[in-house]
Amino acid sequence: MKNMRKYRFLRGFVLVEMLMVVGLIGLMTAVAVISFSAMWGNLKFKSQVRELVNAFQMAQNAAATSDRRYAVILDFTDQAFILREFKSLDLETLDPEKAIIQTKYFSEALTIDYVLYDDLEDTRNSEDVTEARFLAGKSGWWYGGKVVILDEDGWPWTIVVHRFAAPVELFKGDVEILLPQERDNIPF
């Protein structure tokens, strides 16, 4: 009789242990899934930002080493960018299929927020602006500026396009850009 009670007690104890182990495994799995999904979103964002920065760099480098001109067009409506080659200042006269080098649509991990050119033209001030264009020629970008993008959590990142031959840079946050100065304001 005493052995029977001991056996029932141990059987109940083993059941409680098993339930606790299953619960802990479930909790650890849930934490791992959440961490993995956050990491996956972060990797997606970084990959898409890298593609956009590379498109700017490719346009700048190709224009500097050839007699061709390039445009990086940011589409706010479709959340995409287009890298194009062009020969005249009128991009609309180009055959759209022949001039496109690369097109990339962003996922929900990256959102183009706004563009501020170094001549202070700001895409936030106009509701009918659907795209922003950065044009590269042999001597550099026709306009510099910044592209502010948002990650999946809504945090801003800034891509700075310097007007003259400096590399395109990525910064965390919404950073200020250097603006062209009037000749009278330069001390040297």
**Element spanning 29, H or E:** helix 2-65
Indicate the SS3 state at residue 2: helix
Q: What are phi and psi of 123, to 5 degrees?
A: -75, -15
- Mean per-residue pLDDT of the chain: 81
**Six-digit token string for 78:** 């479709």
Mean pLDDT of 174-180: 78
Q: How confident is the model at residue 38 (pLDDT cuts 50, 70, 90)?
A: low
At residue 82, the pLDDT reads 92
| Segment of 1-5, 7-11, 33-37, 62-66 carrying the highest mean pLDDT | 62-66
* CB distance 152 to 41 below 8 Å: yes
pLDDT in tens, 71-117: 999 999 999 999 988 765 555 555 555 678 889 999 888 899 999 98
d(CA 85, CA 63): 9
The CATH number of domain 28-185 is 3.55.40.10: yes
Domain boundaries, the chain: 28-185
Q: How confident is the model at residue 127 (pLDDT cuts 50, 70, 90)?
A: confident
At residue 97, the pLDDT reads 57
Produce one character per residue of 114-136: b if its CB has 16 or more CB atoms within 10 Å, e if not: bbbbbeeeebeeeeeeebbebbb
First to last CA, the chain: 103
